[in-house]
Amino acid sequence: MSRFANLEFNSESEGQSRSQAGAKNERFYLAEAQAAFEQANFEQALRSFSKTLEYDPNNTTAWTGQVRALIELEEFQEAKLWADKALERFPNEPELLAAKAVALGRCGDLDGAISFSDASIAERGDTPYLWLARGDVLLARGEKRADYCFDKALALAADWFIAWLGARIRAFYKQFTLALKLAQQALELKPDHAILWLCAGACQKELGLIGPARRSFQQALQLHPHWREAERAMSSLAETTVVQRLGGWWRRRTGG
């Protein structure tokens, strides 16, 4: 069944949700969604953004959050559908336009992606996400101007979350050297966040830096003991082949 169907809400489900939730409210679920997103638990973030909308169907942060969570889950067609549904209500919302631009770019609709990105900027939006999204679209189009967009996003909000999101985008496009740089920037700002060590370690592994990757994964496990993701990442290092290590060496040489 489509995730999209599960994100629908109506008065009946809203009533049930309110009855079951008790003291929980829109602010609770929105905070829960953001916390889950920051832990890369995008499935939970998706559910919590949906619960937020049961309380307030006009919460544009939650609508945008759903699209962004679907993108992180690589459900790009679903993200596009959800963005369309949201834009029926809020056709001029800059971050929704930007999120749809990303979904289109990752679906291969490069002309549509740049058109929606242009529209998001034209709406006088000037948030870090707008510029991360534009960088994402430009990378999909193979344009070097993307570097400016990532710098702009960090200039608007020099915090770990923006740097981490930038690292994830770079890694998606297999730019692991630049992704690692952003992950390290995020760690300078929040060294006690295990997900950042996991991100850095994953980039290091792709670059053939097995020793540093092991140390990053170990640090993640110290901060978050018995974390399955970090344990699997650690185990995967033992399976890294000579060919993969050579590939990582080549990516370091070429800046990939």
Q: Which domains does the chain have, with CATH numbers?
A: 175-256 (1.25.40.10)
Q: Return the closest-CA partner of residue 115 out of 133, 88, 90.
A: 133
Q: Return the closest-CA partner of residue 106 out of 245, 255, 98.
A: 98
Scanning the structure block, which residue is given the tokens 């949906």? 50
Angle, helices 94-107 vs 128-140, to 10°: value is 20
pLDDT, residue 255, reads 62
Question: pTM for the complete prediction?
Answer: 0.86
* Contact predicate 180/217, CB 8 Å: no
pLDDT, residue 242, reads 47
pLDDT, residue 135, reads 98
* Contact predicate 211/184, CB 8 Å: no
pLDDT per residue, tens digit, the chain (256 aa), is 455 555 554 434 444 444 444 468 999 999 999 999 999 999 999 999 999 999 999 999 999 999 999 999 999 999 999 999 999 999 999 999 999 999 999 999 999 999 999 999 998 878 999 999 999 999 999 998 999 999 999 999 989 999 999 999 999 999 999 999 999 999 999 999 999 999 999 999 999 999 999 999 999 999 999 999 999 999 999 877 544 555 554 455 566 6
pLDDT, residue 1, reads 42
Give the sign of the dihedral formed by CA 97, CA 131, CA 172, CA 255. Answer: positive
46 exposed, middle or buried (CB, 10 Å; 0-12, 13-18, 19+)? Answer: buried
